[in-house]
């Protein structure tokens, strides 16, 4: 998300901005496509669950 290959707090901040921008299930705009973790066209709590899994396994 920040381009360094690791999920960190900056990535979390960007992700939450995308999640709250228009509310869950709002179409992912160009700046938030990275946050559409399940590639269904929106940023919602399903994406957040996937983000959490990846965040937890980042060294």
pLDDT range class, residue 7, cuts 50, 70, 90: confident
Q: Is residue 50 part of a domain?
A: yes
Q: Is residue 2 part of a domain?
A: no
CA 44 to chain centre: 9
What gap in Å lies between CA 43 and CA 59, rounded to an integer? 25
The total number of structural domains that make up the chain: 1
Q: Is residue 47 part of a domain?
A: yes
Is the pLDDT score of 6 beyond 90? no
Q: Is residue 1 part of a domain?
A: no
- Number of H helices and number of E strands within the chain? 2, 2
Look up the pTM and report it: 0.77
- What is the per-residue pLDDT across 10-55, written as a single tens digit (0 to 9) for each? 889 988 888 887 666 667 777 888 888 999 988 889 999 999 998 8
What gap in Å lies between CA 9 and CA 42, rounded to an integer? 21
pLDDT range class, residue 1, cuts 50, 70, 90: low
List the domain range (segments joined by +) for residue 31: 9-57
* List of residues 6+ apart from 55 with CB closer than 8 A: 7, 11, 12
Q: Is residue 28 part of a domain?
A: yes
Q: Is residue 16 part of a domain?
A: yes
């Amino acid at each position: 998300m920040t381009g360094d290959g690791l999920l960190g707090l900056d990535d979390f901040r960007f992700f939450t901005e995308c999640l709250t921008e228009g509310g869950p299930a709002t179409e992912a705009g160009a700046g938030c496509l990275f946050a559409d973790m399940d590639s269904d066209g929106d940023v919602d709590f399903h994406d957040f669950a996937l983000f959490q899994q990846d965040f937890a396994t980042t060294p």
